[in-house]
Amino acid sequence: MLTIKVICKDSIRCRDLEKTCIDFCRKNEINADIQYVSDLKEISAMGIKTYPCLIINDKIYSSDKLPTRHTIENWIKENAGVNV
């Protein structure tokens, strides 16, 4: 199972990033635990200083920018080990 974390203050851009991950995983039947983290204490404890931040399986894939849908989908596929 993948673990995907969207780290951000609560904003529409960040919710869109979360939705992209959820929609892609559902569409492709990828089992993923997708978490939205907006609590500043929790973000600080993770050492994250810029957002939005996308973490997949404990690896930071994007920080301080919103990646394209295609890029996000490729990262998820790569980590899920699937070819969809």
**What's the average model confidence in pLDDT over 36-40?**
95
Q: Check: CB of residue 48 under 8 Å from CB of residue 16.
A: no
Across the beta sheet with 53-56, the strand order is 32-37, 2-7, 53-56, 59-63
Confidence of residue 12 (pLDDT cuts 50, 70, 90): confident
Q: Is the pLDDT of residue 41 over 90?
A: yes
Could you give the 3-state DSSP secondary structure of residue 10? coil
Pairing label, strands 2-7, 59-63: unpaired
Specify the amino acid at residue 6.
Answer: V
pTM above 0.85, yes or no: yes
Task: Report pLDDT for 9.
Answer: 84
Which helix or strand (DSSP H or E) is residue 37 part of? strand 32-37
Residue 81, pLDDT score: 86
Give me the residue spans of the domains in the chain. Answer: 2-80
Question: What integer best gives the mean pLDDT of the chain?
Answer: 93
Please give the class, per CATH, of domain 2-80. alpha beta
